[in-house]
Amino acid sequence: MLRMILALALMTSLAACSTRLNPFNWFGNDREERVRVSETVTENPRDRRFLVSEVVAFAIDPTAQGVILRAIGRPQTQGHWEADLVEVAREDGALVYEFRVFPPPSPAPAGTPQSREVITGLELSNFALRGIRTITVVGAENRRTISRR
């Protein structure tokens, strides 16, 4: 009984501490950097989506098999659709995604900032994360980065 209590106490202290052994602490909070990004050509020339104007939020949620990346972007107007995080670079422990969306088929009003928000996400396995220290999501006016602790 004493061993079970000690094991339980050790597990809860590990979950509560901020060590690198705790998988929930592998990635920290995001930080924003304001930049002006020129449009880049994606690997697929038929992909005619544009960079979202601003990446509002970026979060990483751990799962048993890896992580889920969630990003919220804000285009200039309402009606943008089919949002995706498109991988553009994977080198030196850094993974970079562009937040791309299709523009509305016809001119649309600007509306409120919240009404323009577009949400997208993707899942990365632990195998795909091997060696990755930072993940960045790029928009036209800013980029958000989350680093491994």
- Whole-number Å distance between alpha carbons of 96 and 36: 16
- Whole-number Å distance between alpha carbons of 136 and 38: 16
Pick 14 or 50 by higher pLDDT: 50
Quickly tell me which residue has 């601003």 as its tokens. Answer: 54
Mean pLDDT value of segment 106-134:
90
pLDDT at residue 59, as a whole number: 93
pLDDT at residue 26, as a whole number: 57
* pLDDT, tens only, 19-65: 555 555 555 556 555 655 555 544 556 678 889 999 999 999 999 99
Q: ∠ CA 81-94-30 to the nearest 5 degrees?
A: 60
Sign of CA dihedral 16, 20, 24, 30: positive
pLDDT at residue 41, as a whole number: 47
Does the structure show a pLDDT above 70 at 96?
yes
Mean pLDDT value of segment 94-120:
90
Mean pLDDT value of segment 80-97:
92
Residue from 22, 16, 76 nearest 51 by CA: 76
Domain residue ranges in the chain: 27-147
Mean pLDDT value of segment 117-142:
93
Mean pLDDT value of segment 53-79:
93
Q: Three-state SS for 121?
A: strand
